[in-house]
Structures are given as structure tokens and as C-alpha cells.
Amino acid sequence: AQSVAQPEDQVNVAEGNPLTVKCTYSVSGNPYLFWYVQYPNRGLQFLLKYITGDNLVKGSYGFEAEFNKSQTSFHLKKPSALVSDSALYFCAVRDRDSPNSGYSTLTFGKGTMLLVSP
């Protein structure tokens, strides 16, 4: 079974400051990891993913995430937050070594609300 934990329901940061949204995962094999962002009344927008290779992944809108296998974490980061970054962020995992990993579902965390104040 695979699972994702986002330990913070909400993260508050001032505009211009760095931000971190935490994510830890659990899979039986090796993970594919994803970050999505959801704005109010909108669908999920893909930000970035880790498949293999470099542990630091760069994605859309200046976001990046660092894969840490020993800590089973995939924290989302941005050097300088914008007010427009305020949204709900979901981390998701897929176990790439499961028997049906080609079609298996994404398992999402509960989401972290990011609030960036002016």
C-alpha cells in the first residue's frame, strides 16, 4: 500500500520569503512523486514530478522539490513566495514497482493550504 503525509494543514509565509511545504511518503517499492496545486474552484495543476535521477527537481512557477530517499520525503520549495502562490498544494505518490504500476492510481496527501501575505 502507498500513502502520503502532509503534516501541515496550513503554511503561512510573507511575500518574498522562502517557502517549504512538507511531504513524506510510504511505498513498498520505489516512488514516483508529484506535486499539484489547486486554486479555488479549479482543477489540479501539475507542478513537478520526481521519476529518477537528480534529487532536486525543478518545476513550474519557480517551484522545486527535493527527493530524499533516506527520509522518504519530497518537500516542495520556492526561494521567494508570491501572494499569487496562495493555494492548496497536494503531494501524490505512485509505486512504480507495483504489479500494475503502469496504471496504478495516484495516492494524494490531505493537502496543505499555503497562504502568502503581502
Binding interface with another protein (CB under 8 A): 32, 34, 36, 41-46, 49, 51, 90, 96, 100-111
Nearer to another protein, 3 or 12 (CB): 3
Q: Least distance (Å) from another protein to the CB of residue 18?
A: 25
Nearer to another protein, 27 or 111 (CB): 111
Q: E strand or H helix at 32, and its extent?
A: strand 31-38
Residue 32, φ and ψ in degrees, nearest 5 = -100, 135
Q: Least distance (Å) from another protein to the CB of residue 107?
A: 8
Nearer to another protein, 82 or 113 (CB): 113
Nearer to another protein, 15 or 64 (CB): 64
Q: Least distance (Å) from another protein to the CB of residue 45?
A: 7
- The contacts of residue 105 (CB under 8 Å, 6+ apart) are 94
Q: Least distance (Å) from another protein to the CB of residue 36?
A: 7
> How is the chain split among helix, strand and coil, in percent rounded to 5?
5, 50, 45
Cα–Cα distance measured from residue 97 to residue 32, given in angstroms and rounded to the nearest whole number: 10
Cα–Cα distance measured from residue 7 to residue 111, given in angstroms and rounded to the nearest whole number: 9
